[in-house]
Structure 1
Amino acid sequence: MLLKPFETQSLLSINYHVINQSELFEVISNQIEHDEPINIYNLNIHAMNLTYSDPDFKQVLNSGDLVFVDGMGVKIGAKLLGLEVGQRMTPMDWLDDLFELCSQNNWSIFLLGDEQEQGHAFEEELKKRHPHCALAGFHHGFFSRTGEENQQVIDLINRSHASIILVGMSMPIQEKWIAENAHLLNASVKIATGAFHRVYTGNIARGPKWMTDNGLEWLYRLFVEPKKTWRRYVLGNPLFLYRILKAKLFGVSA
């Protein structure tokens, strides 16, 4: 439950909140202080495209307590349709600030996702950058998300007494896992963060600052990882633009 309401916009039937970084941190602080649960998701072109083939994911996004605009493409698409956006907030641009906020308020975090070795790498990098930020624990993402094994992971997270859970899996797995298990988790804040920890530890390069500042990080990733990303960007970006233009010209979403 979001303690402070924010303006909501709907882009191609997907709802998001008009919010900036300082407001996001205020929300996180309030939710932890009042021990109120919140599920936080991000919205980029990849997420938008997935909703057309996965109605369950669409429902999860639209039921999110707080959904912020991540990608530049979504911001441009929203602007073309005359929608307010707020600040584009790629997690890598603000997570360091969040970790510093955790240090100041004695909040601990739990990382869920990827391989166990990545958890160790993240722990080491976090210690270097924020020695007073407590990592309550981490667990790899290769577990059965139903039944006893899933419950064991939930129990591990709850025993850690983490204030914030960063769920770093791929879309739509991370959002669905949060939505399905949020009522079983004691942590106030659950954030879907994708592969941020790989970028954070240097395993995935973001590209030059001028590219990230101008929303061209996708182009850099396409260049360095073409086999992995071509479908997402070469096919996905034009498809999203087509849907935006159809909505603008004909008032319908494709």
Structure 2
Amino acid sequence: MLLFLDHYFLEGFMLLTPFRSAKLLGLNYHVINKVELFEVIKQQVSSNEPLNVYNLNVHAVNLSFTDLAYREVLNSGDLIFVDGAGVKLGAKILGLEVGQRMTPMDWLDELFSLATLHHWPLFLLGDETEQGIAFAEQLKKRHPECPFVGHHHGFFNRDNHENDAVVDLINQSGAKIVLVGMSMPIQEKWIAANAHKLTAPVKIATGAFHRVYTGNISRGPKWMTDNGLEWLYRLFVEPKKTWRRYVLGNPLFLIRILKAKLFG
């Protein structure tokens, strides 16, 4: 546990957090570990105070250079954890502290256990309806008592009454934690635009974790995931979908890091 406290002001109230913030290529992130993440989530659910949780990986960094609105959304996040060996390497090159790398698939099962223990209702937003059903079934198998209160697909108009209907559905479900499983930057932008309408205090951008959770997307062997090579496995099993993100994106990120190292 880190021995310092920083103060962050969120929506008119003060959140005391046992971690501090840093900045990588102009993007905020927090030096935090899994235990601290869970403690903050518990605090915000208990107090019913808002918490928007985003993650920072190489893809997010690259997107932020071409989508300035997305960059602004990321920097407005209440809690941004590092997800990806690439960001951790980039931070190391620049002499920045990172904290624990926390890919959602490594800790969401523990969150579901906590949700069961503390009776935190969960809602999944994103992907196709069939994927939501598959996730609900898998969650029921792994955590039979977990209060899962609903899911909704992600293919709705986010600018009109359809969006309002989705927000109403989530609110009526009584959810305390909303898992927003869309692609970057859609999920973060949706959370930022709708957080003030949602009664659920905690909103977490989770990407396609539910597809991995249900086995729809296979995850690399542990020796790869533990050594920063999960991207290589994804490239191997889904080359058409991921080649641009990894073959082009990873070198581009490294170039940006080296430019920052050399020129500030």
User: Given the two structures, how large is their TM-score scaled by the length of structure 2?
Assistant: 0.94
- Please say if 1:236 is aligned against 2:249: yes
| Residue 108 (1) aligns with residue 121 (2) | yes
Q: Is the 8 A contact 1:70 1:88 kept in 2?
A: yes
CA RMSD of aligned residues (A): 0.7
Find 2:180's aligned residue among 154, 167, 181. 167
Corresponding residue for residue 7 of structure 1:
20
Q: Hey, what's the Cα distance between the residues in 2 that align with 1:240 and 1:209? A: 25
- Corresponding residue of 2:107: 94
Q: Which of 154, 171, 177 is the equivalent residue of 1:158?
A: 171
The CA distance in 2 between the partners of 1:87 and 1:81, in whole Å, is 17
Q: Which aligned pairs between 1:185-196 and structure 2 lie closer than 5 A?
A: 185-196=198-209
One of 112, 136, 141 as aligned partner of 2:149: 136
Aligned equivalent of 2:219, options 206, 213, 216: 206
1:69 aligns with 2:82: yes
**Runs of 4+ residues over 3 Å off in structure 1:** none
| Displacement after TM superposition at 1:134 (Å) | 1.2
Cα distance per residue 1:88-110 (max 9 Å; x no partner): 00000000000000000011100
Distance 1:128 1:214 in 2: 30
Helix, strand or coil for the counterpart of 2:195?
Answer: helix
Aligned equivalents of 2:221, 2:42: Cα separation in 1: 32
Which of 62, 65, 75 is matched with 1:49 structurally? 62
- 1:40-87 deviations in Å (ceiling 9; x for gaps): 000000000000000000000000000000011000100110101000
Q: Distance in 2 between matches of 1:226 and 1:60?
A: 29
Code of the residue aligned with 2:161 in structure 1: it is: E
Q: Deviations over 1:147-199 (max 9, x none)?
A: 10000000000000001000000000000000000000000100000000000
How far 1:4 sits from its partner (Å)? 2.0
1:19-48 CA deviation, whole Å, 9 max, x = no partner?
000000000000001110010000000000
Deviation by residue 1:185-232 (Cα, 9 ceiling, x = unmatched):
000100000000000000001111110111111100100111110000
Q: For residue 225 of structure 2, what is the amino acid of its counterpart? A: T
SS at match of 2:151: strand
Residue number in structure 1 paired with 2:5: none
**Separation in 2, partners of 1:215, 1:107:** 32
AA at the equivalent of 2:64: T
CA–CA separation in structure 1 for the residues paired with 2:22 and 2:56 = 12
2:29 matches 1:31? no
Q: Quick one: distance in 1 between partners of 2:249 and 2:57?
A: 11
Which structure 1 segments of 5+ residues have no match?
Answer: none
Overall identity of the aligned pairs, in %: 73
Partner-residue secondary structure (3-state), 1:204: coil
The 2-side partners of 1:93 and 1:23 are apart by: 15
**SS of residue in 2 equivalent to 1:237:** helix
Tell me, in whole angstroms, the C-alpha distance in 1 between the residues paired with 2:203 and 2:227.
28
Partner of 1:184: 197
Letter in 1 for 2:263: F
Q: TM-score, normalised by structure 1?
A: 0.98
Query: Where does 1:112-127 land on structure 2 (aligned, <5 Å)?
Result: 112-127=125-140
Letter in 1 for 2:35: S
Report the alpha carbon displacement of residue 3 of structure 1 after superposing the two structures with TM.
1.7
Aligned partners of 1:3 and 1:30 also within 8 Å: no
Tell me, in whole angstroms, the C-alpha distance in 1 between the residues paired with 2:229 and 2:143: 28
